[in-house]
Amino acid sequence: MPSSFSKSNGTYAALAAGAVVATYAGTHAYKSRIQRNFDDGIDLKNQTVEIDPIEHIRRCTFYKDIDIFTFHKTVYPTVQTLGDVFYNGYAASNDGPCIGYLNETNNEEPLHWISYSTALQQIRRIGSHLWTEAKLTPTKSTVAIISLNRPEYSFVEFACYMYGFTVLALYTSYDPATILSILEKTKTDVLVVDNLDRISSFKTQLLEKNYIKEILVMDETANNEHSKIKNIPKILQTMQQADIRPRPYIDPDNIAAYILTSGTTGEPKIAMLSHTNFLVQIKGGILRRERANVAAEPDNRHCSFLPMAHLYERLVLISSFIHGTQVVYCPVPEKLFEYYPFVKPTNIAMVPRVLNKVYDKIMAEVGK
């Protein structure tokens, strides 16, 4: 018995060692193939060069001799502001599928798509409402958004970019005092929420603020709620084509958005980013992916689940729309496993915290 047990152990050990070697070899081969196929030519040990010995400013070795203030304009030259992004996506996709909605009545076709032209129409209707009905002033007015990820979030955000209103994205986790303080500091003109429950505990205070001209709600609401409270679905349904306003001229150096710091050391601080700030980042990423042979095709699909108040997810969405990519919104990270099988994304933005949760969930299932 002992000899048999020893022999079995030796056999299992050999098999396990072989599996480890095979796994390592397979992983190493896969990693080598990925590095070879998607090599962007950057030496990881020498990625930048110093161009200012006093301030120690460094630049990518590939672009050390270019004029950084004009070079980005040569990449997608028709996209000079964020308001141009959807138009580029419309052309790149040949007016293909833009945003996917869950189709709960048809299991065979779980997603219902609207085209880029339809999305553009929704965006321009909201932008025209903000300009003509809410009486906002391009390049001077601010629109704040508090919502989970959903199509209307992007409609409002890009309506602001297109018509020159500054976007202020607030986390749904902020408490009422923080929200009221930020709205006061920025003198926000319009607050957009996904539902009225989001602001139920301080709705009266909001309505009393003279600087708040309107509260736009993404969900259906009662018509007689309050004169300041408007319903986005109704705006989209009732606005006539003749009421859609032409886009005003927007200087690329105008402020596009207020970005909030995490607030871990106190109340969130406000930073200002221009259209150019956003687009330099986006176009730099495009150049990097092109060098690495990473295709950005219109039939690519992005599943948006990281909070849209976070700059990272918004940059990924801008980059997706500029290429004519298909986008589906997952309201919260916890629902990602439900969405993944039928969305089948080719693109997804991740952060370590979410990957840790994915790992824990997989290991918990393995443990069963």
The domain ranges of the chain are 39-74, 75-367
CA distance 245 to 135: 13
At residue 6, the pLDDT reads 43
Q: Residue count of the chain, please give it.
A: 368
Q: Which pLDDT belongs to residue 36?
A: 64
Shortest CA distance to 123 belongs to which of 164, 156, 101?
A: 156
Residue 17: what pLDDT?
47
What is the pLDDT, as a whole number, of residue 331?
93
Torsion of CA 49, 52, 56, 57, to 10 degrees: -70
Q: Residue 207, exposed/middle/buried by CB under 10 A (0-12, 13-18, 19+)?
A: middle
75-367, superfamily in CATH? ANL, N-terminal domain (3.40.50.12780)
pLDDT digits (tens, 9 = 90+) for 327-343: 999 998 888 888 988 89
In this structure, the strands spanning 326-329 and 48-52 are unpaired
For 116-150, the pLDDT digits (tens) are 999 999 999 999 999 999 999 999 999 999 999 99
The pTM of this model reads 0.85
Check if the beta carbon of residue 164 is closer than 8 Å to that of residue 254.
yes
Least Cα distance to 267 among 177, 355, 168, 152 occurs for 177
Contact in structure between 86 and 116 (CB atoms under 8 Å): yes
Q: DSSP string covering 284-333, please?
A: HHHHHHHHTT----TT-EEEE-S-TTSHHHHHHHHHHHHTT-EEEE-SSG
Any idea what the Cα angle at residue 318 is, between residues 312 and 323, rounded to 5°? 130
> In the chain, which residues have pLDDT < 50?
1-8, 12-17, 19-21, 23
β-pair partners for 273: 257
Structure tokens at 173: 């986790």
Q: What is the pLDDT of residue 172?
A: 95
